[in-house]
Amino acid sequence: MEKLLTIAVPSYNMENYLPHNLPTYVDSRLAGRLEVIILDNASQDSTAQIAQSFAEQHPQIFTLLQRDSRGYGSSINAALAMAQGKYFRIVDADDWVNTQDLLSLLDKLETCSADVVQTNYCKVVMSTGEKIPIRFKNIVYNKKYTIFAPCQENAPCIHSTVYRTALLRESGFAMQDGIFFVDEEYVILPFIHAKSVVFYDLDIYRYLVGNPAQSTSPENRAKYAGHREQILRRLLEVYCSAQMDENTKSYCFFRIAQAAADHLTTLYMYLPNRSQGRREGLKWERFLQENYPAFYSAARKKGFLLRQLCRVHLSLPAYQRLKKALLK
């Protein structure tokens, strides 16, 4: 039986989360069709033992790869190199899946030929268990689109995105290692080579939010701001050197411009020392202006607003309330 989907589960010291994540793939109807590669990235707790027990009990589904590096990016690269599935996706170890809709996805992947598959997902608030559904807008489910128009309104993220494995390999895709925020590479760089996308009305991924240990928390975004800049510099360099048709170029510009502007939020609002935040924010704006003027123009208005909020020392809770009000 052909394996239809490989799921990579990168794990570092995840003994508290894997017992909730891994059982969501345990279903006899998935055996032989689904491959789950658990990557133990030099964990110092019982992550490896938990993963090994699932691999021993369900060898048709789980494979454990023990590594001597903590690197997230290199673990995904390793999973992609050994993946047997027709399609490939990532599920972080502190998240999980909806088993029934995962089964439905595999049924669809049997006949699917799109380069990219997008599925709905839910955010799950860590403190309360509240589920917040995230659904696509203004699209026709099960219709094969060219990649660009629907994805510009429904920006793909790591929680929604499944790739054709051959596309990732043929494009030479690889993540940088040893840094956070490489999910931005994952949801932007392969699109340079993709030609088609399909959206399925399936609610698969469960994304745990509100965990202060996550790289997306304001504290960690501030702490690892240099990592984000390293990612963005790579995205900008690839964008300017890659050969793309105009539609691809327009889409990738939109996504990278979003990320470049969002980095200003980190610098102006999340760095606890606001004087440092203004210096770093202005430095990033000058870098864009001097090297990538079109991206600077796209981020300039947001930069100006954030600079003023930083200057008056608007608190982070007040900024988050303002942002929520503006998005209503």
Count the neighbouring beta carbons within 10 Å of the beta carbon of residue 107. 13
Q: What is the pLDDT of residues 185-210, one digit of tens each?
A: 999 999 999 999 999 999 999 999 98
DSSP result, 14-50: -TTTHHHHGGGG--TTTTTTEEEEEEEES-SSSHHHH
pLDDT at 148 over 60: yes
pLDDT of residue 149: 72
pLDDT of residue 119: 97
The listed range with the strongest mean pLDDT (110-119, 148-157, 214-223) is 110-119
Helix 274-291, helix 293-311: angle, nearest 10: 160
Considering only 12-16, 89-93, 220-224, which range has the smallest mean pLDDT?
A: 220-224
pLDDT at 214 over 70: no
Give the whole-angstrom CA distance, residue 99 versus residue 80: 22
Q: What is the pLDDT of residues 93-118, one digit of tens each?
A: 999 999 999 999 999 999 999 999 99
Give the whole-angstrom CA distance, residue 139 versus residue 61: 33
Q: Determine contact, residues 108/98, Cβ cutoff 8 Å.
A: no
pLDDT of residue 194: 93
Q: pLDDT over 70 for what percent of the chain? A: 97
Residue closest to 189 by CA, chosen among 245, 241, 238, 250: 238
Q: Residue 67: in which H helix or E strand, if any?
A: strand 62-67
Question: DSSP H helical segments within the chain, as ranges?
Answer: 18-21, 47-57, 72-82, 99-109, 148-153, 165-170, 183-186, 218-223, 225-241, 246-265, 274-291, 293-311, 316-327
295: left (phi over 0), alpha (psi -120 to 50) or beta: alpha
pLDDT at 327 over 60: no
pLDDT at 328 over 70: no
pLDDT of residue 215: 63
pLDDT of residue 104: 98
What is the average per-residue pLDDT within 214-222? 80
Give the whole-angstrom CA distance, residue 255 versus residue 207: 21
Strands 87-90 and 5-11 turn out to be parallel
Give the whole-angstrom CA distance, residue 200 versus residue 139: 10
What is the average per-residue pLDDT within 282-295? 97
pLDDT at 213 over 70: no
Q: What is the pLDDT of residues 116-136, one digit of tens each?
A: 999 999 999 988 989 999 999
Give the whole-angstrom CA distance, residue 323 versus residue 251: 25
